[in-house]
A = this chain, B = another copy of it.
Amino acid sequence: MIERRFSEFSQSSAAAGATIPPGTLRAPEGAISSSFDVVAYNKERCVEVDGADVDQMLALMDEGLLVWANVIGLGTVELIEELGERLELHRLALEDTLHIPQRPKLDDYETHEYLVARMPVSTHTLETEQLSVFLAKGFVLTVQEQPGDCFDGIRERIRAGRVRIRESGTDYLFYAVLDAVVDAYFPLLESIGDELEELEDSVTTDQGQDPLHDLTRLKRDLVILRRYLRPLRELTTVLIREDSTFLTPKSRVFMRDCHDHAAYAVDLSESYRDIAAGLLDLHLSLAGQRMNEVMKVLTIIATIFIPLSFFAGLYGMNFDPSASKWNMPELSWAYGYPAALGLMLACAVGMIGFFWKRGWFK
């Protein structure tokens, strides 16, 4: 999975890189061919068309319905191009939609708002795809890289005829989409939180596998996560504060709610990062401490036996006692051996006592 993340970076570098001249619409490498779905609704009715075309979409708009158009897959450049021309989308915004990855951002153009975000694909890994959102007077257009998104809740609410979404304008839909993206980060953060909990257990109890790799990986993931989330917090701030033709004051109140969530997600990711760093430090300190314990015990054992072995070696010397009375007379002394054993015992006890007093057995 690590490779995936890094290759995402590389891909990004290539995409944003020099080879593609500005103004060219070109499908990114490996993009799947696009499908186009439309949900149109107003207070009274709600129409869903899977596999729609642009004419259908415009017809629904002419009927006075609010239209949410969703493009899945960046492979069919013609579709993007046609949408761009007939919905008056700015060329640069279309380019950014196709040149993945972009940094999450909010650009306002004369005829529409353009928002880029990274949408989590999975609740357990850091996989994300780029989501582009166009907000204009009568429609919201979302463009995603792959099938599968976090908008099922919104679709449900539209189908179920929930008053708030059915009676509000496109700006509320825009909020709902953005809010769904922000909220999709929470299960990810939750799974990181759960993993941190488990890691804390394995760090403090020293059970389970070595948490070194996992903690390093979590720290790096949180670095990347923060890189995705911070622009979201910033752009929601902009959406609250600045005037925009496409956002009514009423939906700004909702946007504030979305901003709170984004700010909370950034806060959490930063707290988690601090906690992961603290756990890493604790793990290294504890590992060092345990290692030191081992070394200390072993060294103490070795050190106690070294003088004993010396004495044993001493009385193993072959000096000839018959040569003179100075040559190892203790060897032939009747109590030589018990005395030697006693000497060794005294020496060992003395050293143990010395080490004990110095607190080295603690």
Binding site for B on A (CB under 8 A): 2-3, 6-7, 9-10, 12-14, 16-19, 21-23, 90, 92, 95-96, 102-103, 105, 107, 109, 150, 153-154, 156-157, 162, 164, 176, 179-180, 183-184, 186-187, 189-190, 193-194, 196-197, 200, 204, 212-213, 216, 219-220, 223-224, 227, 253-254, 256-257, 260-261, 263-265, 267-268, 271, 274-275, 278-282, 284-287, 289, 291-292, 294-296, 298-303, 305-310, 312-321, 323-324, 326-328, 330-338, 340, 358, 360
**A113 smallest CB distance to B (angstroms):** 13
Give chain A's interface secondary structure class. helix
- Closest chain-B Cβ to A188's Cβ sits at a distance in Å of 9
**6 interchain pairs (CB within 8 A)?**
A10-B190, A19-B153, A23-B164, A212-B289, A213-B282, A320-B331
Question: What are the residues of chain B within 8 A of A279 when measuring CB–CB?
Answer: 216
Contact between chains at A212 and B6 (CB < 8 Å): no
Q: Report Cα–Cα, A286/B292, bound state, in Å.
A: 13
| In the bound complex, CA of A95 to CA of B154 (Å) | 17
Shortest distance from the beta carbon of A359 to any chain B beta carbon, whole Å: 8
Q: Are B309 and A183 in contact (CB under 8 A)?
A: no
| Measured CA separation A193–B17 after assembly (Å) | 14
Return the chain B residue nearest A224 by Cβ.
B271
In the complex, which residue of chain B has the Cβ closest to the Cβ of A306?
A: B305
Beyond A184-B18, A310-B308, is A10–B103 a contact (Cβ under 8 Å)?
no
Would you give the shortest CB distance from A116 to chain B, in whole angstroms? 9
Choose one: B107, B204, B227, B286; the contact of A256 (CB below 8 Å).
B107
Q: Name A324's contact: one of B157, B164, B278, B334 (CB within 8 Å).
A: B334
